[in-house]
C-alpha cells in the first residue's frame, strides 16, 4: 500500500467509479465527492494527499472549490481533470499541480497522480 489518499471530485458518478477503480487497483486510497461543496466536507474528514478535480460542476465548481481550499490554508496538490479544451489554461488558473484531459487512459491518470503525490 502506498498510503496516498486521493479525493475524486466529479459530478459524473461513472467517472468517479471508474477513476476510483483505476486508483484502487494501483494501491491508492480513494474518497469521492460529487461537487465542490461536497468535496469541502469530505476534505476535513479524510485529509487527502491529492485532489482530482473536475472543473464544471453544479453547486460549487472547480474554481470555487480551489479558492476555498487555499483560503482554508490547505496546500493539497490538485490534478485538474476535464473534457474541456482549456484544461491546461484552467489548471494554471487555479494553480493546479497537473492536469489530465478526458478521455484519459489508465497510464495517463496514474502518471499524473504519481507525479504530484508526496513521496512516501
Partner 1 sequence: MTALELISLANQVLFVGLFAAVLVRALGRPSRAAWDTVLLFGSIAAVVVLARVSGWVGLSDQPWLTGVTLLLLSVAPYAMIRLVDDFSRTPRWVLPAGAIAFALVGALGFVAFATVPQLYEIVTIAWFLGVGGYAAYAFGRAAAESGGITRRRMAAVAIGAVLFIGAIVTVFADALATGVSFEAVPQLAAFFAVIAFFVGFAPPSWIRRAWREPDLRRFLERSLHLSALADERRAVVEIQRAAAAALGATGASIGLAISGRPVLRYVGQDGEWIEYPDDAFIAGRAFREQRRVVAMDATEADPENAAVYRLNAATTVIAAPITSEERRIGALSVYADRAPIFVEDDLWLLELLADHTAVLLESRKLAAVESSLRAREESARLKEEFLSAAAHDLRTPLTVVLGQAELLERRAARDPTAPVDAAGLSRLAREARRLRELVTELLDAQRLEQGVAVMDPVTTDLRGVVESVGERYHTQGIDLKTVVPDAPVLASVDVPRFEQVVDNLLENALKYAAGSVLPEVTLVEDEGEGRLTVIDHGAGVPEDERERIFDRFYRATNVQAVTDTGIGLGLYICRRVVEAHGGRIWVEPTPGGGSTFIVVVPAQRAPEPDAPAGATVTLPAISGEAAADA
Could you give the string, one character per residue 89-118, with x where binding to partner 1 holds by CB under 8 A and - elsewhere?
A: ------------xxxxxx--x---------
Nearest to 7 by CA among 39, 35, 38: 39
Contact positions with partner 1 (CB under 8 A) in 26-55: none
Question: For 34-90, where are the E strands, in sequence order?
Answer: 50-53, 78-82
Nearest to 32 by CA among 11, 57, 49, 61: 11
**From the CB of 77, what's the least distance to partner 1, in Å?**
21
**From the CB of 103, what's the least distance to partner 1, in Å?**
4
Work out whether 63 is an interface residue with partner 1 (CB under 8 A): no
Amino acid at each position: 500500500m502506498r498510503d496516498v489518499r486521493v479525493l475524486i471530485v466529479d459530478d459524473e458518478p461513472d467517472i468517479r467509479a471508474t477513476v476510483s477503480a483505476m486508483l484502487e487497483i494501483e494501491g491508492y486510497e480513494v474518497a469521492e465527492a460529487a461537487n465542490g461543496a461536497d468535496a469541502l466536507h469530505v476534505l476535513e474528514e479524510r485529509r487527502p494527499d491529492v485532489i482530482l478535480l473536475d472543473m464544471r460542476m453544479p453547486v460549487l465548481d472547480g474554481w470555487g472549490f480551489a479558492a476555498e481550499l487555499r483560503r482554508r490554508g490547505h496546500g493539497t496538490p490538485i490534478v485538474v481533470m476535464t473534457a474541456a479544451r482549456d484544461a491546461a489554461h484552467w489548471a494554471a488558473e487555479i494553480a493546479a499541480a497537473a492536469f489530465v484531459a478526458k478521455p484519459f487512459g489508465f497510464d495517463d491518470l496514474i502518471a499524473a497522480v504519481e507525479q504530484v503525490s508526496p513521496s512516501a
